[in-house]
A and B are shown apart, each in its own frame.
Chain A
Amino acid sequence: MNPITLNHYLLLGALLFVCGAVCMAVKRNAIGILMGVELVLNGANVNFVALAHYNLAFAVEGQVFALFVIVLAAAEAAVALAIVLNFYNNHMTVDVDTAEELKG
């Protein structure tokens, strides 16, 4: 069997990214959109860690940046959920198709 090269991991990262982007575009539930964002960030993380493994120059940097991405994704998910909960409390819906007007 052919050895697993860097391209395999980068392709998997690309697949995760595209799934996340499609999820963001397609879901009507606001939390579904948040799940798409998480998928995109995971795709980027797979790229980082794969390059850390396959390229000797980035052995530490890849993992450090993956750690930063994980922490920042957690922070962003917290704020996004706070916004979604506020929207739900004010409009009794999480359907983003109803979020058409700027006035609350």
Chain B
Amino acid sequence: MHALLFWVLAVIVGVCAIGVVVTQNIVRSATWLLFTLAGTAGLFFLLGADFVGATQLLVYVGGTLVLVVFGVMLTAQGPFINLKTSAVEWAVTTVVGFLLFGVLAVTLWSWHPEEQRRRQAMDRALVELSADPANPPATADIQKFIADHYGITIDKDQVELYRSVLAANANPLQTMNSAVLGESMLGLKQATPVSTLSGVNARNVPKRTQMAYLLPFEIVSVHLLVVLIGAAYLARAKRRRGAVVP
């Protein structure tokens, strides 16, 4: 189900993003962008980030995009609705775009392949062998399963480490909700328990202090106020210079 929803939303987002780029008409571009942002909000909901998804819909689609549409409508006089770019520019930019995407894709697929494969093997083994929650599978069984299905040998120490990390986390994703976000913003609750950061042995990770995001939150609020005042001053009604006289 997760896979089906992901593919539907990913296709929507991808096609609409390409639509934003390809369309020459500025108003149609804004509409493609609307669907891209709505699809992205759907992806956030699929990933379990309810608050971020709702904020995306409220602020991005309902605020920023409406502002963009205002701008489009205020400036969409006759010749500016369709501003064409030359074919040479399109060709060069498309080639560079494909190259950039290639670089990013190759980086993704060659990043820590051993570590990723080991973790996937471990997750798979734990899922397959944990039939009874009261009776966790033995380390030797896990090692055998991974050796049989993945051809990787993992030593006992790493299996123990991984299991201790999982036990320490006790699946925070199940308890992750907006209340946790709010409490971590106020510093009332330790935001993230000790877990394996990439490349760091879980036993050597220092005890994490309470993560409070109150200060960045306040900074962003003041930033918004300043930007509001600045934008209101910049866009104030002025006598239009060089007005067209019929």
Partners in one complex: yes
Q: A residues touching B (Cβ–Cβ < 8 Å)?
A: 1-5, 7-12, 14-23, 25-29, 31-32, 34-36, 38-39, 42, 45-46, 49-50, 52-53, 56-64, 66-68, 70-79, 81-86, 88-95
Given contacts A18-B97, A52-B49, A63-B49, contact A39 B20 (CB under 8 A): yes
Contacting pair B80 A57 (CB below 8 A): no
B interface majority secondary structure: helix
A32 to B81, CA, bound (A): 10
Other-chain residue from A7, A75, A82, A83 in contact with B224 (beta carbon distance below 8 A): A75
- Bound CA span A75–B35, Å: 21
A residues in contact with B96, CB < 8 Å? 22, 25
Tell me, in angstroms, the Cα distance from A4 to B10 when the chains sit together. 11
Q: Most chain-A Cβ atoms within 10 A of its Cβ — which of B191, B197, B227?
A: B227
For residue B6, which residues in chain A have a CB less than 8 angstroms away from its CB? 4, 8
Cα A27 to Cα B33 in complex, Å, equals 14
B29:A25 contact, CB within 8 angstroms: no
- Closest Cβ of chain A to B12, distance in Å, is 11
Query: Nearest residue in B to A34 (C-beta to C-beta)?
Result: B68
Interchain CA distance A75-B221 in the complex, whole Å: 10
Contacts of B33 in A (CB 8 A): 35, 38-39
Question: How would residues 60 to 100 of chain B score, 1 for a CB under 8 Å from any chain A CB and 0 otherwise?
Answer: 10011101101110110000100111000110011011001
Q: Mostly helix, strand, loop or mixed at chain A's interface?
A: helix
Q: How far is the CA of A57 from the CA of B180 in the complex (A)?
A: 14
Q: Is B184 a contact of A81 with CB atoms below 8 Å?
A: no
Contacts from B to A (Cβ < 8 Å): 2-3, 6, 10, 13-14, 17-18, 20-21, 26, 29-30, 33, 36-37, 40, 43-44, 47-49, 51-52, 55-56, 59-60, 63-65, 67-68, 70-72, 74-75, 80, 83-85, 89-90, 93-94, 96-97, 100-101, 104-105, 108-109, 120, 169, 172-173, 176, 180-181, 184-185, 191-192, 195-197, 211, 213, 216, 220, 223-224, 227-228, 230-231, 234-235, 238, 240-242, 244
Flag if B17 contacts A16 (CB, 8 Å). Answer: yes
Contact in complex: A72, B49 (CB < 8 Å): no
Does the CB pair A18–B67 fall under 8 Å? no
Given A12-B13, A82-B234, residue A71 in contact with residue B220 (CB < 8 A): yes
Contacting pair B43 A46 (CB below 8 A): yes
Tell whether, in the assembled complex, residue A92 and residue B55 are in contact, meaning their CB atoms are under 8 Å apart: no
Among all A-B residue pairs, the 10 with the closest Cβ atoms: A82-B234, A14-B104, A28-B83, A75-B227, A82-B235, A19-B17, A22-B97, A60-B191, A78-B231, A53-B47
* Number of A-B residue pairs at CB separation under 8 A: 233
The answer to whether A26 touches B93 (Cβ under 8 A) is yes
* B49–A53 touching, CB < 8 Å: yes
- The complex places the Cα of A80 from the Cα of B141 at a distance, in Å, of 60
| Residue in B21, B80, B84 whose Cβ sees the most chain A Cβ within 10 Å | B21
Contact sample, A vs B, 18 pairs, CB 8 Å cutoff: A4-B3, A8-B6, A15-B101, A26-B85, A26-B93, A28-B84, A50-B47, A53-B49, A57-B192, A58-B192, A60-B191, A61-B211, A63-B49, A74-B67, A76-B227, A88-B74, A89-B238, A95-B83
